[in-house]
Structure 1
Amino acid sequence: MEEVTMLNHIITQTLDSVGTSREKIFEIGERSRSEHEYLNQELLQIKAKVSQVIKDVDESALKAKHARNRLAQVSKEFANYTSEEVRSAYEQASEYQVQMAVLQQEEVQLRTRRDDIERRLKNLQDTINRAEQLSVQMSVVFDFLSSDLKQVGEYIKDAKEKQNFGLKIIEAQEEERRRLSREIHDGPAQMMANVMLHSELIERIYQEKGIEEALKEIRGLRKMVRSSLAEVRRIIYDLRPMALDDLGLIPTLRKYLENVEERFAITVTFKHFGVEKRLAQHFEIALFRLVQEAVQNATKHAEPAEIIVKIELKPNNVTLVIKDDGRGFDPSKRNESSFGIIGMKERVNMLNGVITIQSKPQQGAIILIQLPISNN
């Protein structure tokens, strides 16, 4: 009993330490990302200044050349010019020469600053990437230590397979969270930041150029907001299609497969047999996830040119067929898509169904799923 208490204490301390380290890594990543964005804006400004200084140097060099030619002409024909004209020619040549030297020095300083920022940006990006990688790894460790794998263990007998499967599930969850975080950061969050900047610009344009020019910018802002809204809706749809609750399984599958066809530029054929009817909510979700997992496995690992999805709804059962003409695989061997298939098998088993997988290398794959409706 004392050993168990000590073990629990050690696990608690380990979890606390891992959790604290994960938070610190996240803070480092966020600070690095903020500094990266700030330096990136500064870099854009400096590049614009460098371009302008180069242009100014060229103009100053041309003026200095003309002034020197003028001074040479005055010196050569000294008797034909007044002392004031001689002095003016000398001062102008000297002034342009000094101006060009100042601009050249400014160009050197700007280029040095630009190169320094670019090096810092590269280092910061490396830090951000490393922090993200470490954060995912720490989250995997934390979740694995704190998760209860007993339920999964009932289905997976081999200890090594259970460990790998549990880790793969957690890694997939963390990868999905990171993907969603990036999509929100690079999509809606970035667009909303641009909307804020654009709104400030509109206010300035209104003050400087009047209402007509401001209205033009507002139309552009409206397009930006519309695009941001569409991106948010796409992210929400990927998490859970609301059409599944409103319209049912068949229309949602049809819409999802149309999106897959558009996103991956492959041919996706959807065929529905039987009566289109509503099923229990959890059962419709399960059927949608099965199709989603099978299609994602095909697009991610098989590189198919065509995917065919068929669903037949009968009074007492549902039959799903997902077929692709991709690279195929040997079902008896472990590969990178095995954990997706294991997840599908677990879902089918929980629904008292049967899943059959037929595939050979370079001959595509066929997944046949049969599920009873009466018990679901």
Structure 2
Amino acid sequence: MAVKTREKDLDFIVDEMVDVVENSKDEIFHISEEARSEHEQLLKELDYTKQKVLQYIDDGDKLEQNVRYSRRRLSEVSKYFDRYTEDEIREVYETTHELQTKLAMLRQEERALRTKRDEIERRLQNLDQTIKRAENLANKISVILTYLTDDFRQVNEMLEEAKEKQEFGLQIIEAQEEERKRISREIHDGPAQMLANILLRSELVDRTFREGSPEDALNEIKNVRKMVRTSLYEVRRIIYDLRPMALDDLGLIPTIKKYIATIADYNNIKIEFLSIGEVKRINQKYEIAFFRLVQEAIQNAVKHSEATLITVKIEICTKNLNLIITDNGKGFDPDIKRDKSFGLMGMKERVEMFDGTIEINSAIGAGTKIIIRVPYERALV
């Protein structure tokens, strides 16, 4: 319960952080868009101002020529004023003054436009920097957002996986204890009881031989021999359940064949087996691992899938071992985590120990297919 509470708290914190970052990203986007809009308007204004400056320069140059001409005219009138009437002299003075005034105003407006142009260019440079900073900040926030939404989720998944592995470890310990109890009961109820009976019957043989006839003693000896055989069979069965002796004596393929035949006969189910590649011994730890993988996969199919046909194929390739187990049972959804699904988890753990991969393909009503690939060059004897 405490673990689930911590997971919910972590999810809440991550969601809050994601909301804050997303809102910040939206605000930066709006700032960037406003800066871009202002940038476009200033570009238009700059273009218009530059055209006006050029127009004022052109008008000023023309007006300056008129002023020079008027000044020369004024100089001539002043030098030979006795040749001109008073009205002509006044007109020349007024025209020259008016032209000079216009030129001065025009040059002043031109300087104002130049100043405005320079100010617009400075504002454009600042806006360019603002837009670039906003884009860089937006990119960094996108990275942070990705980290929050993906990497933090992965952390949560890792916590969940760690929790599952912890439960799996506890399940293994419980299974070990249950297995010890089962073996203890089987030995107590089977071989131990039989050995006690053999001891009693041996005393009966001794008494019969001394007090009765040799024929009666011989019959008791035969009964003792049968009990010894039964005890030996029970001991071998218990040992086989713990670890098949054929795995040490014959190897992986013959042991799997024998196991499949026994399971198929006992459960009245059809199990097909196919071995591809050279049948040869491989490293013992790989033989044990693959036998347990086959054992677990078949037990899952028999117990849970309601299958009528199970197919087991093992490939001994040059660089890896492949194991494919399929059934035509009811299947399941691999994306839905099931409580206490420690069988598949144990298979995954075992495969990962050998740097292998396991792929589980299944769907409701479509059966199940398990594909296992394990590198095994190091496993060659």
| TM-score, normalization by structure 1 | 0.54
Query: 3-state DSSP class of the match of 1:234?
Result: helix
Alpha-carbon offset, residue 227 of structure 1: 1.5
Gaps of 5+ in 2: 1-156
Partner of 2:331: 328
Residues 1:292 and 2:313 aligned together? no
Q: How does 1:32-71 map to 2 (within 5 A)?
A: none
Query: 3-state DSSP class of the match of 1:198?
Result: helix
Change (3 A) 1:160 1:372: closer
Partner of 1:214: 217
Q: How does 1:1-376 map to 2 (within 5 A)?
A: 157-335=160-338, 338-376=341-379
Q: What is the number of equivalent residue pairs in this alignment?
A: 223
Query: 3-state DSSP class of the match of 2:203?
Result: helix
Answer whether contact 1:297 1:337 (CA < 8 A) is retained: no
Alpha-carbon offset, residue 337 of structure 1: 6.1
Instruction: Please give the per-residue CA displacement for 1:103-157, whole angstroms capped at 9, x wherever unaligned.
Output: xxxxxxxxxxxxxxxxxxxxxxxxxxxxxxxxxxxxxxxxxxxxxxxxxxx9875
Instruction: Please give the per-residue CA displacement for 1:175-230, whole angstroms capped at 9, x wherever unaligned.
Output: 22222222222221122122122223333433454111221222122122112111
Distance 2:167 2:267 in 1: 29
Counterpart residue identity of residue 189, structure 2:
D
Distance 1:190 1:319 in 2: 45
Change (3 A) 1:359 1:191: farther
Instruction: Please give the per-residue CA displacement for 1:346-365, whole angstroms capped at 9, x wherever unaligned.
Output: 11112121111122344432
Gaps of 5+ in 1: 1-153
Answer whether contact 1:156 1:162 (CA < 8 A) is retained: no
Change (3 A) 1:263 1:176: farther
Query: 3-state DSSP class of the match of 2:369?
Result: strand
Query: 3-state DSSP class of the match of 2:377?
Result: coil
Change (3 A) 1:312 1:186: same
Counterpart residue identity of residue 222, structure 1:
R
Query: 3-state DSSP class of the match of 1:214?
Result: helix
Query: 3-state DSSP class of the match of 1:289?
Result: helix
Alpha-carbon offset, residue 306 of structure 1: 3.3
Distance 2:339 2:299 in 1: 13
Alpha-carbon offset, residue 322 of structure 1: 1.5
| TM-score, normalization by structure 2 | 0.53
CA RMSD across the alignment:
2.4
